[in-house]
Structure formats: C-alpha cells, structure tokens
Chains A and B, each alone.
Chain A
Amino acid sequence: MSAPLVLGIETSCDETGVGVVRGAELLADALASSVDEHARFGGVVPEVASRAHVEAMVPTVHRALEAAHVSLAEVDAIAVTAGPGLAGALLVGVAAAKALALAAGKPLFGVNHLAAHVAVDRLAHGELPGPCVALLVSGGHSSLLIVPDVTGDVESLGQTIDDAAGEAFDKVARVLGLPFPGGPHIDAAARDGDAQAVAFPRGVVRDAPYSFTFSGLKTAVARWVEAREAAGERVPVADVAASFQEAVVDVLVTRAVAACRDRDVDHLVIGGGVAANSRLRAVAEQRCADAHIRLRVPPARLCTDNGAMVAALGALLVERGAAPASLDLAADPSLSLT
C-alpha cells in the first residue's frame, strides 16, 4: 500500500488547523487563527474561539486541499483532535470531521492532541524512535511524557499543577506592559537583557519530580516589579524578561533531561507554542548535547497547534491498520493519554 493520504482537523484552542499529509510527507498546513480577537481579553476566550472555528472551517478545508493539490475524494482518511482542549472548540472540529467523513464516505480517526504534538516531528525529521521523552509546552498545556509509540499508550510523567508555561509568559508580559500573546514579546525583550540580573525561584512540586509549577514564579516577578515601582525606580524590562525566561527554561529543560536520564531514553522531542522560544531551544540544545541526548524540535510552524500534526498521527494510525472511530466519537476536553 502506498502512503496514506490523510486530512487532519485541529480545533482544541484558538487555531483552526487543517493539514494534509501523505504518510510522513507534509502536503498542506492551512491555518486560521482567532488570536487577534483574544488579545484585548489577555487570554483565549473559549466562546470567541468556538465561534471563530465555525466561520473558518469550510474556507480552511478548501485552502488545505488546494495547497495539497488533492481532492476530498482522493483522501484515504479524516483525522481530528478529540481532546484534550476547550470543550466547545473541540466539538466544532469533531462535528466538522464527522460531516466530512460522512459526506465523502471516509474512515474517521479521533486523535489525542498531545500525541499529535509528538507525531508531527515525523514530517520534519523522519520516523520517531521509541521510546522518546516529549516536553509539550504551550498556552494550554505543559506536560512531560514518555512515548513508547505515539499510536499507542503514552505515559504522563508530569505536568503543570497550576499555570501552563505559555500562560506564565502571558501573565508576566502583562505585568511588564508587553502585549498578548506574551511568549514572542518576552523572548524579544529578553535578548537585550541580563538573564542573571534577578534570581527568580525555580518552583518544585513536592513528590512529583517531573511536574511544573509556575504560579509562584509569576508572583515573584510581580512582587519584584511592584517593589521597584513603589521605590520610584525604573523597571528594567529586558532584565526582568530575561531572568523570568531563564527560570522557566531552566525548569523545563532540567526536568526533561532528568526524565531522559532516569528512564534511560536518548531522544527528546519538544513541541507546543513555547518550543518556538529561542532561549528554550538554545538551552535544550546545549544540555542535550552534554547529556548525549538527541534533541528533536519541529520547525516553529509545526510546534504551534496545526492540522498537519493531526494528519501526521492519523496517517501513522492508518499505516498501522488501526480501527477507525465510530460516528458517535465524542470530543473529550480532558482526554487522557492512555
């Protein structure tokens, strides 16, 4: 059998993504984002995101098929993010995928969003070896996983117990008067700053060596900034941004490298929107090299939520002969990995 042609739909947060792949080959990655509509609210508003998904769905499917130069009739399967994510947003994608599957008579596959963040790297760097450790960091999730095989059960090693890493960037950006989403703006501001200027705390979760906590860090930054303001001093935005970013990156990479070492795994995949952070990439490269771990980070465009990652995992499921989902597939906001 030739490599399966799969269309993937992603609507777990604020991006309407429709991707087309042929096996591990990326053919199209169409995206409509409602991020600008959320900016004035300082975070993703679920109802705004869900409305935007409805509006964007048909045009985004069109753009994906056009860019891939294929027709719906040629597609072998439809894949869709079943969870985890925002309930109302997921529901729009799942309904759309079922409608496509029904209309075109195609098998339907519901996939796990986190597993898709890992599987997407097959489009960039070839098949994933098993097992690998995955660090997934975005505005919606921060998890450390061990992945024996992305089409099978994935084991969660740890996750954030409060804010997601991307959320911490958003909140600290607000404290520093930088726009939403905070990640790229903090990254840019930090380039001119001294990462050692302020020793912000590295949060530890008791009895959970691979879990994250960012709310204490966020509060520490706010307290430090307020103290400067109260003293009538100028706030050194670049230094604060760099020091905050260093604390987040240090925690993320330290936990990920420890997980690889403890589990005797020599491949680390990093995904999610925060994987676009330049300091995270640099520190991960350095420490993985030191620890003889092979680091795999998809290109930034494939790190953020997109439809190609769903199609990439869907294609892998088709290749492995997995059974399709039935038409009563439910969107599951808290879908677990196993």
Chain B
Amino acid sequence: MLVLAFDTSTPLVTVAVVDTGGHVVSEHERLAPNKQGELLAPLIHAALADAGAAPDRLGALGVGLGPGPFTGLRVGVVSAAVMADALQVPAHGTCSLDAVLGPAGGDCLVITDARRRQVYWARYDEAGHRVEGPELGPPAEVADRFRGAVPRVAGAGAVLYRECFADFVIDDDTLYPRARTLGLLAAERAERGEPGGVLTPMYLRRPDAQPPGPPKRVTPA
C-alpha cells in the first residue's frame, strides 16, 4: 500500500510517498518560508509522479497537525482532509514535532519556532516517544525547566535560540518535521486498520482578538 504524507507547519514544505514495507518511494522538499500555499500542491504532484502513482492508488494519508504558525499549518491540514475525503482513504494526523527526530533520536527536547519570541516544544524519552508537550513558551523558560534533566535539544527553534540552550547539546542537523517520518507512522497505523480521524490543527494559541469596549466618543467629553 502507498501512503502520501506531508507537513507545512514549518518553513520546510515536505512531501513523501512511502510504502507499508517501510520504504521511502519518493520525496520532494523545499525550504521556503510563507510559501506553503503555492508549493504544497506542486510538490505532491511531483512526489506522486516520481512514485508512478495515480492518487487513486493511495491507501492512506499522513499529515503533520502542528503546532506551527497557523497560516502555513492550515494549508497542509485542509489539503489532507480534502484529499482523504475525496479519495475515501483514512488520513492520519500526527503532532509535527514527532516527525522531527529520525529513527536514532531520543532523550531530548524538540523545539520549533513559534514566532513572537516563543517556541513550540515537546520532550521525548530514550525510545523516542513523546512524554511531555507539545506546549508553547519562551525559549529561556523551556531551557530553565529542563536544564540538567534532558541532555540534548533538536529542531529549528533550538538553533534559533541557541544562546538559551548553551547548556544542552544542540543538534544542528535535525531541524524540521519530515514527511517521510509522518508517512511511515501513517503507514503503520493504516496497516493496523486504524480509521482516519477528523484532522484538527494544534494551534496552542487563541486568536488574539479582544471584544471591543463601548464605541469611542467622537466629541470631546
């Protein structure tokens, strides 16, 4: 069975086609901040073409649900929801931070950029399982909380705020969620016959809108 997966929660727009044997059949990625809307569909098209697979040969979809900056994140989530529905295959959503660490990762924090001087973070045990998070916070607070308890940090947020994480081993090579990881996770779930669920983006922030007060006076009081 072929599985298509993608993630748009970071500046890396990442698309992969994997099979249920654990192979990455094709992969297309572009690092392009704020271009998720333009890039995702052409990259999906290219990945499917490289895999020699028409969309109706897909058995399942995998997608990163964030957390990540909302506008880009929504592109991936709504695309997966619509495609899965049109193809009548399950869509498996996964916390995007879970797809940052490769198979060798573990005993670390994964940290991505949440903008506004904040980061999204999650903690992973030695087996690579998420044990805390995802949560949102200032990088210095995250560092204070885990200093001495967790040896290593990965993800673009750790690199961006490296001055906060001076007491940790910083993994400079593991920056973004990868569609291949999301695809392999989704393939496992599809093999187990898991039904797809409703895909809900992990925002972790409320829309910052305030109900207005009474109308402003236009005449001096």
Which residues of chain A have a CB within 8 Å of any CB of chain B?
Answer: 40-42, 45, 47-48, 50-51, 53-54, 57-58, 61-62, 72, 87-88, 91-92, 94-96, 98-105, 171, 174-175, 219, 222-223, 226-227, 230, 326-331
Residue in B77, B85, B86, B208 whose CB lies within 8 Å of A54: B77
Closest to A108 in B: B41
Which listed segment binds A: B67-75, B103-111, B138-146, B169-177?
B67-75
| Interchain CB contact under 8 A, B41 and A102 | yes
11 A–B contacts, CB within 8 A, in A order? A41-B212, A50-B71, A58-B81, A91-B74, A92-B74, A94-B37, A95-B40, A104-B55, A219-B218, A328-B38, A328-B39
| Interchain CB contact under 8 A, A99 and B39 | no
Residues of chain A lying within 8 A (CB to CB) of residue B74: 50-51, 53-54, 88, 91-92, 95
Interface status of B118 (Cβ within 8 A of chain A)? no
Residues of chain B lying within 8 A (CB to CB) of residue A223: 218-219
Residues of chain B lying within 8 A (CB to CB) of residue A105: 54-55
| Interchain CB contact under 8 A, A96 and B219 | no
Closest to A44 in B: B209
Residue in A57, A62, A88, A222 whose CB lies within 8 Å of B215: A222
Interface status of B207 (Cβ within 8 A of chain A)? yes
| Interchain CB contact under 8 A, B83 and A103 | yes
| Interchain CB contact under 8 A, B211 and A72 | no
Residues of chain B lying within 8 A (CB to CB) of residue A328: 38-39, 41-42
Closest to A57 in B: B78
For the complex, what is the distance from the CA of A181 to the CA of B78, rounded to whole Å? Answer: 28
| Interchain CB contact under 8 A, B219 and A91 | no
Interface status of B201 (Cβ within 8 A of chain A)? yes
Residues of chain A lying within 8 A (CB to CB) of residue B42: 326-328
> Most A CB atoms within 10 A — which of B38, B78, B83?
B78
Interface status of B204 (Cβ within 8 A of chain A)? no
Residues of chain A lying within 8 A (CB to CB) of residue B41: 95, 98-99, 101-102, 327-328
The smallest C-beta distance from A108 to any residue of chain B, in angstroms, reads: 9
Residue in A45, A94, A330 whose CB lies within 8 Å of B207: A45
Residues of chain B lying within 8 A (CB to CB) of residue A61: 82, 85
| Interchain CB contact under 8 A, A96 and B82 | yes
B interface residue count range (under 10 / 10 to 19 / 20 to 34 / 35 or more): 35 or more
Residue in B55, B79, B207, B210 whose CB lies within 8 Å of A48: B207
Contact of A102 with B83 at beta-carbon distance under 8 Å, contacts A95-B40, A175-B215 already known: yes
| Interchain CB contact under 8 A, A57 and B81 | yes
Interface status of B189 (Cβ within 8 A of chain A)? no
Contact of A45 with B209 at beta-carbon distance under 8 Å, contacts A54-B77, A54-B78, A98-B41 already known: yes
> Most A CB atoms within 10 A — which of B80, B201, B218?
B218
Residues of chain B lying within 8 A (CB to CB) of residue A91: 37, 71, 74-75
Residues of chain A lying within 8 A (CB to CB) of residue B81: 54, 57-58, 99
Interface status of B31 (Cβ within 8 A of chain A)? no
Additional A-B contact list (16), CB under 8 Å, known A61-B85, A328-B42: A45-B209, A57-B82, A61-B82, A88-B71, A92-B75, A95-B40, A95-B75, A99-B82, A102-B45, A103-B55, A105-B54, A175-B215, A222-B218, A223-B219, A327-B45, A330-B38
The smallest C-beta distance from B198 to any residue of chain A, in angstroms, reads: 8
Residues of chain A lying within 8 A (CB to CB) of residue B75: 91-92, 95
Give a binary string over B1-44; 1 marks a CB under 8 Å from any A CB, 0 the rest: 00000000000000000000000000000000000011111101
